[in-house]
């Protein structure tokens, strides 16, 4: 069974600090890993997708890495802002029919 874990469940940082969000998974035969942002009561916004053949992906202040051998992905958000406050979910595709989601890390950026 493919399991995806995100620790910690919650994180609070002062504005301007870099954010480091962790995601671990049990099955190294991963097709891809996707990071999402979810605001309270809202839908999921796709942030980055890393294919299994890639080591990292970047978009603006966001950078995500993937290490299949250790079963880890990390999302870095540079120079955090209060608008970055949200829940961040990682999800692994280990087959061609579903995503396995982590429980998420809720981030609060203090002004």
**Contact residues for 9 (Cβ-Cβ < 8 A; gap 6+):** 103, 104, 105, 106
Among 43, 53, 60, 83, binds another protein (CB under 8 A): 43
Nearer of residues 14 and 97 to another protein, judged by Cβ: 97
Whose CA is closest to 25, among 67, 76, 72, 75? 72
Q: Is 36 in the site for another protein (CB under 8 A)?
A: yes
Among 66, 77, 93, 109, binds another protein (CB under 8 A): 93
Q: Is 46 in the site for another protein (CB under 8 A)?
A: yes
Q: Is 22 in the site for another protein (CB under 8 A)?
A: no
Contact 61, 77 (CB under 8 A): yes
Summarize as ranges the residues that interact with another protein (CB under 8 A). Answer: 31-32, 34, 36, 41-46, 49, 89, 91, 93, 95-99, 101-104
């Amino acid at each position: 069974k493919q399991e995806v874990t995100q620790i910690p469940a919650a994180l609070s940082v002062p504005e301007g600090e870099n954010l480091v969000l962790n995601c671990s998974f049990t099955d190294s035969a991963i097709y891809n890993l996707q990071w999402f942002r979810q605001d309270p009561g809202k839908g999921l916004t796709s942030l980055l997708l890393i294919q299994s053949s890639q080591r990292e992906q970047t978009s603006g202040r966001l950078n995500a890495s993937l290490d299949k051998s250790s079963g880890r992905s990390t999302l870095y958000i540079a120079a955090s802002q209060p608008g970055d406050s949200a829940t961040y979910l990682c999800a692994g595709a280990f087959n061609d029919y579903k995503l396995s989601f982590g429980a998420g890390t809720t981030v609060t950026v203090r002004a």
